[in-house]
Amino acid sequence: MQLKALTLPLMLALLAVGAQAQTVYRIVGPDGKVTFSDKAPETPSKNSPAVVTTSGGGDSAGAGLPYELGKVAARFPVTIFTGQNCPPCDSGRRLLVSRGVPFTERTINTNEDLQALTNLGSDSSLPFAKIGGQNLSGFSESEWTQYLDAAGYPKTSQLPTNYRRPAATPLTQPAKAAPAASASDAATAETGRRVRPPAPPADPNAPNPNNPAGLKF
C-alpha cells in the first residue's frame, strides 16, 4: 500500500472501519475437527471456549490514561500479535513503548493460534497489528508511524509513571479438562452398582466326590 497517496481523512476512515471489538470462536465438531468462526456456535461446547481479542474500543480502553490519550485509545485501540524469536515483533513493540501507546499483546504459539490469527485478517506474517480497524501485516516503522500519527497518538510518551502494560497472553485458550469426580460422586456410583446376592449354602446331601449318589446316612 502506498501510504504517501493516502490523505489524512482516508487514513482515519480506514482506522475507524471495523474498530469495534471482535470475537473469534473456537468450535470443536462431533468428529473432533477444530474450526474458527466469528459467529458463536449454535450449541456451545465446554471444549470450545471462545477466543476473545481486545481489538475493540470502549471506555475501558482508555481507563486510567490522560484524557486526550484515553480518547484516542478508546477510539483506535492497538493490538499486536507476536511470536517467539521474532526480531520484527520486538521492533514493533519497542516503537509502541517508546511512543507511550497503550496496547494489548497476543502471542502466537500454536497452530490453533495461527488459524485464529488468519481469521482476524492476517496473512500469517508476524508481527500483525490492528490500529483501530486497520490491519498491518509485518513491521514497517514508517507504515506503523503514519497510522499511529493519523489516529492521534502522541509522538512521545504521555503515560503516567504508575502505568503498567498488561502482560501478553495467548490468542487462544486451551480447552479445559473435564473436572475429576468428587468423593461424593464416587460414593454414589459405588452405591448404584448392582449387588449380587450371596450364594445359598451347599446342601450336605447333594452329590459330591465323597458321596456320588447323594445317599443320606
- The answer to whether residue 45 sits within a structural domain is no
- The answer to whether residue 128 sits within a structural domain is yes
- The answer to whether residue 12 sits within a structural domain is no
- The answer to whether residue 159 sits within a structural domain is yes
How many folded domains does the chain comprise?
1
pLDDT for the residue numbered 52: 39
CATH number at residue 134: 3.40.30.10
Query: What secondary structure letter does DSSP report for 23?
Result: E
Can you list the pairs that 87-95 forms with residues at least 24 positions away whose Cβ atoms lie under 8 Å? 88/126, 88/127, 88/138, 88/139, 89/126, 89/127, 89/139, 91/139, 91/141, 92/127, 92/129, 92/139, 92/144, 93/127, 95/141, 95/144, 95/145
- The answer to whether residue 106 sits within a structural domain is yes
Q: Is the pLDDT of residue 214 over 80?
A: no
Locus of grid cell 486510567: 64
Q: Is the pLDDT of residue 213 over 80?
A: no
State which residues form the domain around 159.
55-170
Question: Tens of pLDDT along 5-52?
Answer: 455 555 555 555 544 445 555 566 676 665 655 556 665 555 544 443
- The answer to whether residue 192 sits within a structural domain is no
- The answer to whether residue 10 sits within a structural domain is no
In what helix (H) or strand (E) does residue 67 lie, and over which residues does it extend? helix 67-75
In what helix (H) or strand (E) does residue 51 lie, and over which residues does it extend? strand 50-53
pLDDT for the residue numbered 58: 46
pLDDT, average across residues 147-157: 96
Rg (CA), the chain: 31
pTM of the model: 0.60
Partnered with residue 103 across adjacent β-strands are: 78
Question: Tens of pLDDT along 159-207?
Answer: 999 999 999 999 998 766 556 666 666 666 555 565 566 677 766 666 6
Share of the chain above pLDDT 70, in %: 52
Q: Is the pLDDT of residue 2 over 50?
A: no
pLDDT for the residue numbered 50: 41
- The answer to whether residue 21 sits within a structural domain is no
pLDDT for the residue numbered 48: 46
Q: Is the pLDDT of residue 109 over 90?
A: yes
pLDDT confidence bin for 53, thresholds 50/70/90: very low
